[in-house]
């Protein structure tokens, strides 16, 4: 069967996990926009202080970092450090032809670990909680990548 | 026909859009370098103050953020938040076998929206203009990703 | 032969280079964690000052930027600016069917340039050294991307 068919359960598993992670990451940008509008601040560029329909009363304070906005930016940055690598690592991993159940556990496990990481970060849980959830996702990523490397090397 | 052939119009459309976006993003790094050299500043690492052929007259002021350099860094960061996701989302989207004309409209439309976003950001247009252009690209990205997710789920 | 088979020497070359670069980039996250633990600082979120098993003696100084941690963050950020683009550019490039030897020179050359860039950045070599190593990798990336674009355009 065509390895890149969305009717193939293995590739469909990857596509579902990948698209969920893309939507999650894009969601951070929209959440940043939402919080900037709610806070009327947390902007970054000098021109953001021009009077416009969306910013009728500009104020220099709007360029000061706003913790509610910065928190989303940190979560977003954490996604940028992880998700693009996952998107490629997961793709290459399914090309090694792993057992479907294992692939589902790893790919969906990764998605769940990132959603929980988001929840922990958004609600300001302790560093220990956040780090544990990040570690689970990172170990899944490393496992899939190392497995692919070994397969490409002929092992 | 081979789905990943550059002779296939659908995959070629993706490849053209993807490579243009990669070159655009790499261009931001080169533009940062160019502006750092023109401004003789905007550096970030302590060792950048060592006397070298490219920096014959070091000065601690060179480590102070320089707005002309920072503007390019912000544009670059915006690319990092968007382009890697687009590269994978567009790839998966063409695997769903969409109509060629629709794929061209979405993929090339995305490229155009990002180039206009770059022009608006570089020339310091209002936040409203920049945000509108970003939104167009983001909605295209979300549409392609959601369409792929539905296809992978069997809809 | 199946273009996406890890038994195909061309695709295996890509897969080896790609997985090495993914592992390298993930390594930066782990190195950041390691240095934050060694320095007991360089944290970023207010909640990181809560008393936990991993941080038994919180101190507001722990949120001040720590240069040993910031250095790894800058290296990590440089990876984020380059590696995701490389992962897609390399994939599309091998789909153009280049000579194996050329593909190996470019893909493995890229990996070597990034590892040397890491060594130069970690050990605080001059900006000139670091920039030269970055330039080699960036030119390889641009070459592969431009070659793919030309192929997709029918040249």
Which top CATH class is A2-152?
Answer: mainly alpha
Q: Which residues of A touch B146 (CB under 8 A)?
A: 19, 23
A108-155: per-residue pLDDT in tens? 999 999 999 999 999 999 999 999 999 999 999 999 999 999 999 998
- Pairwise CB contact (< 8 Å): B84 & C81: no
Strand partners, B55: B52
pLDDT at B3: 86
Cα dihedral across residues C7, C9, C11, C14: positive or negative = positive
> A52 in helix, strand or coil?
strand
Write out the DSSP string of C48-114. GGS-BTTBSS--GGGGS--HHHHHHHHHHHHHHHHHHHHHHHHHHHHHT---HHHHHHHHHHHHHHH
Looking at residue A42, the DSSP 8-state letter turns out to be: -
B54-91: per-residue pLDDT in tens? 999 999 999 999 999 999 999 999 999 999 999 999 99
pLDDT at B2: 80
| Residue A1 clears pLDDT 60, i.e. is over it | no
Residues in chain B: 155
pLDDT at A9: 97
pLDDT at A3: 86
| Residue B1 clears pLDDT 70, i.e. is over it | no
Q: Which residues of C touch A146 (CB under 8 A)?
A: 19, 23
pLDDT at A24: 98
Alpha-carbon distance A138 to A42, whole Å? 30
How many CB atoms neighbour CB A75 within 10 A? 22
A51-75: per-residue pLDDT in tens? 999 999 999 999 999 999 999 999 9
Does the pTM of the predicted model rise above 0.95?
yes
C27-63: per-residue pLDDT in tens? 999 999 999 999 999 999 999 999 999 999 999 999 9
Neighbours of chain B (3+ CB pairs under 8 A): A, C
> Tokens representing C27?
């390594």
Of B140, B151, B149, nearest in space to B104 by CA? B140
- Residue C35 half-sphere exposure, CB side, CA atoms within 13 Å? 18
pLDDT at B155: 87
Report whether B128 contacts A52 (CB < 8 A). Answer: yes
B23-48: per-residue pLDDT in tens? 999 999 999 999 999 999 999 999 99
pLDDT at C3: 86
- Pairwise CB contact (< 8 Å): A128 & C55: yes
- Pairwise CB contact (< 8 Å): C15 & A151: yes
Report whether C5 contacts A3 (CB < 8 A). Answer: no
Q: Which member of B121, B125, B152 has the closest CB to residue A6?
A: B152
- Pairwise CB contact (< 8 Å): C89 & B15: no
Please give the ipTM for the structure prediction: 0.96
Every domain of chain A and the residues it spans: 2-152
Q: Using CB atoms within 10 A of its CB, is residue A120 exposed (0-12), middle (13-18) or buried (19+)?
A: buried
Q: How far off is chain B from A14, nearest CA to CA, in Å? A: 9
């Amino acid at each position: 069967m065509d390895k890149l068919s969305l009717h193939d359960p293995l590739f469909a598993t990857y596509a579902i996990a990948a698209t969920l992670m893309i939507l999650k990451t894009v969601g951070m940008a929209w959440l940043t926009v939402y919080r900037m509008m709610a806070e009327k601040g947390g902007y970054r560029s000098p021109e953001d202080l021009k009077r416009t329909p969306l910013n009728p009363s500009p104020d220099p304070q709007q360029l000061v970092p706003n913790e509610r906005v910065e928190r989303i930016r940190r979560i977003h940055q954490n996604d940028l450090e992880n998700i693009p690598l996952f998107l490629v690592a997961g793709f290459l991993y399914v090309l090694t032809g792993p057992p479907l159940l294992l692939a589902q556990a790893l790919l969906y496990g990764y998605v769940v670990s990132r959603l929980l990481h988001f929840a922990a970060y958004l609600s300001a849980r302790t560093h220990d909680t956040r780090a544990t959830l990040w570690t689970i996702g990172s170990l899944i990523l490393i496992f899939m990548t190392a497995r692919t490397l070994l397969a490409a090397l002929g092992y």
